[in-house]
């Protein structure tokens, strides 16, 4: 699914109205119906409800939500902001009139005063103050209103975006001056801001209501941001021909493990094998022999000279892709070996975990990394290499810079792992959950990416598809083992099932 900027959404909205002959009032009703459906599936009409409507079309949506709620048996109090009595947009005015025609509507229209009826923690608030028409961060009475809503402890449903927040980048807003939603019901598309961890307390849970904006305009409007769903991955995964052999599916080489961290090697190896690589070699220290040959007998084991750590990363097999990092430690011998690997191999590789920690100590190594390589840092690893970041937004912006500068793909791991490409495109992942916040789950991902790369998928595709597969494997594991009980081994075990589920038509 495409993620559009506010400007693009306005344009698609305009095209829909002009070219498809749909009126803006019709679109407002579709938004309101979508919002009300979400409300009715969660709360009963006895819930005390207050609807806050601004002067623009976000307010218009809210007024029709109020109307539909009344028709569903709710008894909402409506607060309409109409400074000086003449600030309503034409649609907002029309919606106010439509609501008032019901008769007996409890409405406070804020014209000259700012008296707001008492709001309690028991209330459900419908927040239709500001949507995509927000020009500047909220100030004065608007800011006070956002704070009042937040401090009341009421449950908040925001229409389109939480009021005071921009759908795109939000560097200038202060969280406490923005309405904090429990549920945000976005119009047609999720917004970039929803995918950034710092905004999670503001956006809450989010849903999208499809209001049937022009398919043609959606297809023809270019964007750099995407939300990756099953169909996107299904389209890129190749079906295997009947006449094939393991030689057709590549040979992955993993440099993983050290004394005390051989589990990382096992997990990465299982991730690679379960995602279909033809052949896998694991280069690990000698101490890993019995662990690997027992836990993953399907993998070839290549012993390092050293007993406890990897001291040499000269590829000794005919590999088609290399992954390096899980559990290798950061001691001097391994560091030297990695430096040589980076400086000699000029094909895209996958770098994770301790490989990233080693790079963070010698950032100049970034200049030698082969273009098309994939780096898979979580926030801490990213900041260690590329500098400490004040927010998830600045981290993403920095990832864009880095990907462009070094021509590499950065997979910023987290709730919505972001695959950032050198061309400035960002792919947010839709699968995965908190059940995956368990040691070793990143190692499984390294195995999957390396496996897809080894099978001949381009770096960009391998990274995005692997992240989706990994998250879906986590979802399948969590379905059985639950939020607390899922182990990274369970995630690895479900990788094949995830791919099967994706490829099923």
Ligand X SMILES: Nc1ncnc2c1ncn2[C@@H]1O[C@H](COP(=O)(O)OP(=O)(O)O)[C@@H](O)[C@H]1O
Binding mask 122-141 for ligand X (x = CB under 6 A): --------------------
Q: 180 to 209, contacts with ligand NPW by CB under 6 A?
A: 187
3 state SS for 21-39 = CCCHHHHHHHHHHHHHHHH
Q: Is 85 annotated as a binding residue?
A: no
**Closer residue to ligand X in complex, CB, 98/232:** 232
d(CA 413, CA 381): 10
Q: Is 367 annotated as a binding residue?
A: no
Q: Is 135 annotated as a binding residue?
A: yes
For 244, the 3-state DSSP assignment is coil
Q: Is 177 annotated as a binding residue?
A: no
Of the candidate residues 54, 56, 276, 440, the single one contacting ligand X (CB under 6 A): 440
3 state SS for 312-378 = CCCCCCCCCEEEECCCCCCCHHHHHHHHHHHHHCCCCEEECHHHHHHHHHCHHHHHHCCCCCEECCE
Tokens (6 digits) for 219: 């297809």
Of the candidate residues 36, 154, 156, 159, the single one contacting ligand NPW (CB under 6 A): 159
3 state SS for 481-494 = HHHHHCCHHHHHHC
Please give the residue ranges that form the binding site for K ion (CB under 5 A): 58, 127, 131, 158-159, 163
Q: 364 to 393, contacts with ligand X by CB under 6 A?
A: 378
Angle, helices 495-503 vs 459-485, to 10°: value is 120
- Interaction of residue 63 with ligand NPW, rule CB under 6 A: no
Q: Is 327 annotated as a binding residue?
A: yes
d(CA 440, CA 470): 12
- Interaction of residue 417 with ligand X, rule CB under 6 A: yes
- Interaction of residue 432 with ligand X, rule CB under 6 A: yes
Q: Is 212 annotated as a binding residue?
A: no
d(CA 130, CA 315): 58
Q: Are strands 205-209 and 279-284 parallel, antiparallel or unpaired?
A: unpaired
Q: Is 239 annotated as a binding residue?
A: no
**Closer residue to ligand NPW in complex, CB, 14/316:** 14
- Give the closest residue to 297 by CA, choosing from 282, 285, 311, 308: 282
**Closer residue to ligand NPW in complex, CB, 208/503:** 208
Residue 434, contacted partner among ligand X, K ion, ligand NPW, none, CB below 5-8 A by kind: ligand X
- Interaction of residue 393 with ligand NPW, rule CB under 6 A: no
Of the candidate residues 164, 271, 414, 447, the single one contacting ligand X (CB under 6 A): 414
- Interaction of residue 9 with ligand NPW, rule CB under 6 A: yes
Number of amino acids touching ligand X (CB under 6 A):
18
The contacts of residue 371 (CB under 8 Å, 6+ apart) are: 348, 406, 407, 408, 422
Give Rg (Cα) of the chain: 26
Binding mask 331-370 for ligand X (x = CB under 6 A): ----------------------x-----------------
Minimum Å gap between C-beta 254 and ligand NPW is: 47
Tokens (6 digits) for 132: 């995509």
Q: Is 166 annotated as a binding residue?
A: no
d(CA 418, CA 396): 8
Q: Are strands 409-412 and 374-375 parallel, antiparallel or unpaired?
A: parallel
Residue pair 8/188 in contact (Cβ under 8 Å)? The answer is no
Tokens (6 digits) for 46: 């006895």
- Interaction of residue 179 with ligand NPW, rule CB under 6 A: no
Q: Is 447 annotated as a binding residue?
A: no
d(CA 309, CA 329): 8
Per DSSP, 288 falls in state G
Tokens (6 digits) for 422: 């050198």
Residue pair 442/326 in contact (Cβ under 8 Å)? The answer is yes
- Give the closest residue to 130 by CA, choosing from 201, 81, 93: 81
Minimum Å gap between C-beta 411 and K ion is: 32
For 183, the 3-state DSSP assignment is strand
**Closer residue to K ion in complex, CB, 51/493:** 51
Of the candidate residues 36, 39, 53, 60, the single one contacting ligand NPW (CB under 6 A): 60
Of the candidate residues 72, 174, 244, 439, the single one contacting ligand X (CB under 6 A): 439
- Interaction of residue 327 with ligand X, rule CB under 6 A: no
- Interaction of residue 322 with ligand NPW, rule CB under 6 A: no
Q: Is 442 annotated as a binding residue?
A: yes
The contacts of residue 242 (CB under 8 Å, 6+ apart) are: none
Q: 106 to 135, contacts with ligand NPW by CB under 6 A?
A: 130-135
Residue 430, contacted partner among ligand NPW, ligand X, K ion, none, CB below 5-8 A by kind: none
Binding mask 454-493 for ligand X (x = CB under 6 A): ----------------x-----------------------
For 211, the 3-state DSSP assignment is coil
Binding site for ligand NPW (CB under 6 A): 9, 13, 24, 27-28, 31, 54-61, 87, 89, 130-136, 138, 142, 159-160, 187, 213
Annotated binding-site ranges for K(+): 58, 127, 163
Annotated binding-site ranges for AMP: 413-417, 442
Binding site for ligand X (CB under 6 A): 353, 378, 413-415, 417, 432-434, 436-437, 439-443, 445, 470
């Amino acid at each position: 699914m495409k993620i559009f900027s506010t400007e693009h959404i306005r344009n698609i909205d305009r095209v829909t109205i002009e070219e498809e002959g749909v009126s803006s009032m019709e679109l407002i009703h579709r938004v309101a119906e979508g919002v009300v459906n979400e409300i009715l599936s969660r709360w009963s009409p006895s819930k005390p409800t207050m609807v806050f409507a601004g002067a623009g079309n976000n307010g218009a949506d809210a007024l029709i939500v109020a109307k539909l709620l009344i028709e569903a048996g709710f008894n909402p109090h409506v607060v309409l902001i109409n400074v000086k009595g003449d600030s309503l947009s034409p649609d907002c005015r029309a919606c106010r009139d439509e609501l008032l025609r019901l008769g007996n509507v409890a409405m406070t229209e804020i014209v000259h005063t700012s008296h707001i009826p008492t709001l309690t923690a028991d209330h459900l608030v419908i927040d239709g103050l500001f949507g995509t028409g927000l020009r500047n961060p909220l100030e004065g009475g608007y800011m006070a209103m956002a704070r009042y809503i937040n401090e009341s402890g009421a449950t908040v449903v925001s229409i389109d975006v939480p009021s005071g927040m921009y759908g795109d980048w939000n560097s200038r807003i202060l969280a406490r001056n923005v309405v904090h939603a429990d549920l945000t019901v976005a119009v047609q598309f999720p917004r970039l801001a929803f995918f950034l961890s710092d905004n999670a307390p503001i956006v809450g849970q989010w849903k999208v209501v499809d209001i049937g904006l022009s398919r043609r305009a959606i297809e023809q409007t270019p964007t750099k941001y995407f939300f990756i769903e099953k169909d996107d991955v299904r389209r890129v995964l190749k079906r295997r021909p009947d006449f094939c052999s393991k030689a057709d599916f590549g040979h992955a080489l993993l440099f993983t493990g050290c004394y005390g961290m051989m589990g990382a090697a096992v997990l990465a190896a299982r991730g690679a094998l379960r995602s279909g690589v033809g052949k896998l070699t694991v280069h690990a220290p000698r101490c890993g022999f019995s662990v690997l040959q027992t836990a993953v007998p399907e993998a070839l084991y290549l012993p390092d000279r050293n007993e406890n750590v990897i001291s040499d990363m000269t590829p000794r097999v005919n590999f088609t892709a290399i992954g390096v990092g899980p559990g290798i430690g950061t001691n001097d011998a391994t560091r030297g070996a990695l430096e040589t690997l980076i400086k000699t191999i000029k094909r895209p590789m996958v770098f994770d975990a301790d490989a990233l920690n080693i790079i963070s100590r010698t950032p100049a190594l970034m200049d030698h990394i082969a273009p098309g390589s994939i780096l898979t840092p979580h926030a801490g690893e990213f900041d260690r290499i590329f500098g400490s970041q004040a927010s998830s937004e600045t981290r993403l912006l920095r990832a864009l810079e880095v990907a462009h500068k070094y021509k590499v793909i950065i997979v910023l791991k987290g709730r919505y792992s972001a695959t950032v490409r050198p061309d400035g495109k960002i792919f947010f992942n839709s699968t995965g959950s908190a059940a995956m916040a368990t040691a070793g789950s990143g190692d499984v991902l390294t195995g999957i990416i390396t496996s897809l790369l080894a099978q001949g998928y381009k770096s960009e595709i391998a990274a995005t598809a692997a992240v989706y597969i990994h998250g879906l494997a986590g979802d399948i594991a969590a379905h059985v083992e639950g939020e607390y009980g899922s182990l990274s081994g369970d995630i690895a075990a479900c990788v094949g099932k995830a791919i099967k589920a994706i490829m099923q038509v």
